[in-house]
Amino acid sequence: MFIETFGIDAFVLLGGLLLICGVIVAKFSNRLGLPSLVLFILVGMIIGSDGLGIVYFDSVNTAQLIGIVALVIILFEGGMQTKWATVRSVAMPSLSLATLGVLFTSGIVGYTAYLIFDVTLLEGLLFGAIVGSTDAAAVFAVLKERNIKAKMGATLEAESGTNDPMAVFLTLSFIELISIDNSTIWSLVPSFFLQMSLGLVLGLVIGKFASFALNRIKLESSGLYPIFSLAFAMLAYSVTAFTGGSGFLAVYVAALVIGNSELTYRYSIFQFNEGFAWMAQILMFMILGLLVFPAQLFTSQIIISGLVLSVVLIFVARPAAVYLSTIGMKYTNKEKLFVSWAGLRGAVPIVLATFPIVANLENGQLFFNVVFFIVLTSTLLQGSTISSVARMLNLTGPKKDTPHHSIELISIGKANAEMVQFQTNKDLALVGKKLHELNLPNEVTISAIVRDEELITPYGETEIKAGDFLYILVATKHKEKVRKIIEAKKQPEVV
């Protein structure tokens, strides 16, 4: 409608203005105390047909396609940023939350939906499955740069990165049980294990192959490497989905492998994917905002049932799922309470809520509107208070050190050399030493040190301190050796 009225040029102008608006919203979301995704959704609702009427959009299939592609991009970026050393320590509880936790949450919310709505038990459980998983896009966005305790952040990120497959499986399974008369829940169990196994195996294989290809294939332009890496994310999802596996799990696993490998043009790849993930978030949440019609959303039925289900989800189902899923695991009561509160809902439930509409289920539109209301409630209430709850429970960690200086990190492909960044901490053996005391290869040069946002020109007598950012020009063949020297830990003192 917008294109027909104003032409393609005006549509391009609108796209540019919306992206600018999205960037400004992201800039000021923390100051407003609101997660940026809520503001992106509100922008979509404002420019939609029930708002200013600038854009009319009601294509559920298009929204579903955009949502899935955007989730692949966001999951890939989040997985690449996740440190395996941190995730490894919380792998078991995260997997338990991603499987049993989703089951418990879906069951409690689904039974409540069955009692509230005039639907069958299977339809109620379908609703529970749709809102059963936390959302990677919401969790990654809210936790980014917040000083949450590392263990808590790793648990939530690993859970949100791996629980989408469970929610997708349950949603599709209940749609099949409702639509096909002869289907039974037991016939779907083998399918679950097949999907998870294929997702894990193919994710590992594609991640290893991608790391090898990124390091061995010499491309003419450095700008091609980030695109090359993103292509493997799409490959991981599509190949796994075509073979009957969980594409989302494959993407996250592949990203973990790639992100924790030594890569040529590592920083270019990371920066490109971070920027592209932000663009995917802006586009996805605005499209989802366009898809909802406020006149249908803010009715007494949707508001009352949405509030009841939100209360059950946030204060009953999620805490019960966390406590039951982490029985016997080394989490304190405060940590369990925080994980319970930080179970944000976001794009995944909204995208999954489009599946019943596409399948032409009787209550598909009702479910979509209520799910949308629950997501808004969850992100507004939980997303805006995560930092406060962490402080109240004494679960804040050290402030995240993100370098804001402008030294450009480069890879000199044809010279087989790279400028790489290392950050020191008090546990490293090199802290307190002078540069000439380091056993670095002759071809390695520490070109700059940034300390407390100030640039220091290094020379032989310069002493390295905890928190320094070291910028090192190193031949690619010595990169691994230098990494081992820099990351060597202090030896414990002998008493």
Q: End-to-end alpha-carbon separation of the chain, Å?
A: 78
CA angle at 466 for the pair 463 and 469, rounded to the nearest 5°: 85
Task: Determine the Cα–Cα distance for residues 155 and 94; give it in Å rounded to an integer.
Answer: 6
- What pLDDT does 407 receive? 47
Question: Which residues does the chain have with pLDDT short of 70?
Answer: 1-7, 10-11, 28-35, 86, 136-138, 140-147, 183-187, 397-417, 492-495
Contacts of 172 (CB under 8 A, 6+ apart): 355
What pLDDT was estimated at residue 210?
Answer: 93
In tens, the pLDDT along 384-417 reads: 788 788 888 887 765 554 444 444 455 555 556 6
* Cα–Cα distance, 35 to 376 (Å, whole number): 10
Measured distance CA(249)–CA(157) in Å, rounded: 13
Distances (CA, A) of 464 to 386, 431, 479: 35, 5, 19
Q: At what angle do helices 102-116 and 318-325 cross, to 10 degrees?
A: 150
- Which pLDDT score is estimated for 4? 55
DSSP for 299-365?
Answer: SHHHHHHHHHHHHHIIIIIHHHHHHHHTTTSS--HHHHHHHHHT----HHHHHHHHHHHHTT-TTHH
- Report d(CA 375, CA 362) in Å as an integer: 22
State how far the Cα of 210 lies from the Cα of 205, in Å rounded to an integer: 9
Residue 408: the pLDDT is 45
Q: Which two tokens stand for residue 150?
A: 């590392």
Return the pLDDT at 137: 66
Query: Measured between alpha carbons, how far is 166 from 407 in angstroms, rounded to an integer?
Result: 42
What global pTM score does this model have? Answer: 0.76
Report the amino acid identity of residue 330: K
The full length of the chain comes to 495
Over the Cα atoms of the chain, what is R_g?
Answer: 24
| pLDDT value of position 7 | 62
